[in-house]
Amino acid sequence: MSGDQPSTSTMTPATQKTSKKRQPMVSDANERINFLHQAASLLAATTDSQSSSAAKLARIYLTDMNEVNFIGMTRMDRAIRRSYCKKSEARKKPKTTPNMSKL
């Protein structure tokens, strides 16, 4: 045995529990919502007009995201909820300042 790490027999049960890192549980619905949000964001960023086929596809992805959220009864993150319009289901464009446009 090395002198740096205590053996598991000398560790108390409380120390053993805290040494293990817990991985957060990610449900299939959350993964699907994340994918649809990223896809809608990418498509909305690539198009300028709301009437293009990419913008329509982004709206379809947002509709599917809402359905997955409703059926799976999950809570979406606040940033995701605020990133699109609930009425028109169009992705909101982020606000930019003159300093940000130079980057």
What integer pLDDT is reported at residue 94 of this predicted model?
Answer: 60
Whether pTM exceeds 0.95 = no
Classify residue 57 as exposed, middle or buried by CB count within 10 Å of its CB (0-12, 13-18, 19+): middle
Confidence band, pLDDT 50/70/90 cuts, at residue 27:
confident
Can you give the pLDDT at residue 97?
55
Inform me whether the pLDDT recorded for 1 exceeds 90: no
Angle (CA) 45-50-54 rounded to 5° is: 55
In this prediction, what percent of the chain has a pLDDT beyond 70? 58
State pLDDT tens for residues 46-88.
877 767 888 889 889 989 998 998 888 888 888 888 887 777 6
